Amino acid sequence: MPKRLAIVGAGPGGLATARVFLANFPGIKINLFESDYSVGGIWHYPEADNDHRVMYDHLETNITKYLMRFSGFPFPDDVPLYPWRQNVYDYLISYYEKFIKPSQNFNVHLNSRVVELTKGDNEWTLVSRNTETNEETTLKFDFIVLANGHFSVPNVPVDKVPGLSEWIDHGAAVHSKVFKNCKFARDKTVVVVGNGSSGQDIVNQLASVAKKVYRSVTDVKSDLIPDDFPTPDVVETVPKIESTDYARRTVKLQDGRILENVDNLIYATGFYYSAPFLQGSIKAQLDRQTDKEQSTRFYNLWKQIIFVKDPTLAFSLLPQSVVPFPLAESQAAIMVKVFSGQLKVPNQSDDELEPEFLATLPNYHNLADLKDLDYYDELQSILDQTGGEKDPFKPVKWTDKDKLNREKCVEDKKKRNIYLSKLSSDSRAQKIPYILKQFDL
């Protein structure tokens, strides 16, 4: 009887996993479950149906198309150096239609939300619910890959900021997940919390129309906007928020200063990890949460891929600060080795095997400071030791040139942000909202 694989999530991780298994695991039957009505994951952002989707109107990647590509599948020549969200979605559709959709061993379930996943009698039972009809379907599988991403459950510190819940109740405080464009902020005062890529981008877009934009960051001295950035003077960097008062429309900062006449708060503070369909001992071993559906990290993993308590369960693209598309294929190639019995996973987790290395990371899943390069090399080394050169499909092997380009990302991103800051300033001078324009280094 052919082996059966279920993949949960049809974004980059799920699609990459399907491609690699179809190529490297002969005869396996794959079922892909996606709650949306199209593959593409968070990159599916239709203009007529984009409420509560993670993307926003004027978004481009912060990784060049030359690094972001899948193995043997470059972006088209006419795509900008930093692809726009629609470019990425079109790219994923092309990838799906070329490598996955034609296979007779593949079946996709769109509009199908996984609601329960349990293990018993050496097989997995997966229950999915059709989002249109509410009809439930139950299927059995030998292997599971969770590629449902980590961009669905917003992390908003309601319990840590007094008064914030009232702002949320009135729609005046939101997570960056619901940000679409800057038009709502014309002549308003907005506080953006968080200084990651999304936070910086949102501040820049708001500055084209807002009366005042405050960047609330952890360390003001280290997060000041560089002098060579042509950022509109309406932007000011301030410390973290201590408390808020919706009735007075004030925000108190940790340095004691009070911001007045604040209209909106936007929290660009990241997301939780979540697999709400897992239950019982598996959920407890994975997220160590008994009363919540989300967690700041997952546990009991090997190489952030395989669940050591049951190596028939794997995860795609849990790490952050990475180049996701080629990584997803490398991780999937490792999964094939494990699921096919070519590679035995240790009983110990990363926390037990690599405590010194993990202590150098901001958190378990965040491979900051270019530590992702070591991770790619490590996965490739494992593949090399388990016959990867003989596999029909081979993931991207990071060359010295690739690594140099990855290291240049920091400087390239600065050049890109200088251009985008100037774009915001120019838009403000012309009294028009921010609109993304093509830019090459």
Indicate the burial class of 25 (C-beta count within 10 angstroms; 0-12, 13-18, 19 or more).
Answer: buried
Write the CB contacts of 386 (distance below 8 Å, at least 6 apart in sequence): 337, 342, 343
What is the distance in angstroms between the CA of the first residue and the CA of the last residue of the chain? 53
Q: Residue 411's CB: how many other CB atoms inside 10 A?
A: 10
Are 10 and 32 in contact, with CB atoms under 8 Å apart?
Answer: yes
Query: What's the confidence (pLDDT) of residue 385?
Result: 97
Domain segments of the chain as ranges: 4-153+271-407, 156-269+410-429
Name the burial class of residue 172, with classes exposed (0-12), middle (13-18) and buried (19+) by CB atoms within 10 angstroms of its CB: middle
Using only C-alpha atoms, the chain has a radius of gyration, in whole angstroms, of 22
Give pLDDT < 50 ranges for the chain: none
- Identify the H or E element spanning 377: helix 372-385
Q: How far is CA 187 from the centre of its chain?
A: 32
pLDDT in the model for residue 228: 67
Tokens of 280: 């019982």
Does the domain at 4-153+271-407 match CATH 3.50.50.60? Answer given as yes
Question: By C-alpha distance, which of 276, 308, 270, 272 is closest to 291?
Answer: 276
- pLDDT score at 125: 97
The pLDDT of residue 295 is 85
156-269+410-429 under CATH 1.10.3720.10, yes or no? no
**Angstrom distance (rounded) from CA 187 to CA 207:** 10
Q: Give the number of other CB atoms < 10 A from CB of residue 414.
A: 13
For 394, half-sphere exposure in the C-beta direction (CA atoms, 13 angstrom radius) is 13
pLDDT of amino acid 440 = 65
Closest CA to 71 of 129, 30, 16: 16
Q: Are 4-153+271-407 and 156-269+410-429 in the same CATH fold? A: yes
Token readout for 42 is 């968070």
pTM for the model: 0.95
Per-residue model confidence (pLDDT) at position 196 = 87
> How many CB atoms within 10 Å of residue 410?
10
Q: What is the DSSP letter of 128?
A: E
